[in-house]
Amino acid sequence: MKKVIIKNGLIATAIIMGIQFLAYLMYGHPDSSNFDTDEIIGYISIIACLLFVFFGIREYFMLYRKGSFLKYFGLGSAISLFPAVAFGTYSVIYYKWINPDFLQEYGDYQLGKMKASLSIEEFETAKIQFMEEMALWDSVGAQFIMMFLTVFVIGLIISTLSAIYFQLKTPKNG
């Protein structure tokens, strides 16, 4: 089981980091012209890497033809930890050292979008709330946790669905 977890976890990590690296090579630092594209690429990389949760559970199922929901769920959750830790770490490195102006630029971009779509009163209220949320992102711990959880929670959802699927396929004894 450990071999399945490590193999699929490392593949998932390579995919999420590889897509981020390729996006960086193609687009450079995100700016207001490609923030939305960058977000879409981010979620695509998360889903693409987490397909290896399903593939890892399938590999285990094909090897042993037995298991329980909890065994499959645990396997998928363990695989999900690899890309989640990598993406959380990458985000901290990116925000702090690769592109330290990102948060300011992204905040300005989001405020501009809000200002264009809200009334003056709604904008002022939304701006206060948004600035409080942005203050969290200035913390290395909060950056890591938010990006880790983004990947890990999606991984848990895929783990749950995969565990249900393979539990239904597992032959019952007796």
Rounded to whole angstroms, how far apart are CA atoms 61 and 10?
A: 19
> How much is the pTM?
0.86
Residue at 154: amino acid letter: I
Backbone angles phi, psi at 118, to 5 degrees: -120, 160
How confident is the model over 39-68, as pLDDT tens digits?
888 899 999 999 999 999 999 999 988 889
Residue position matching structure tokens 């809200």: 118
pLDDT under 50: residue ranges of the chain? 174
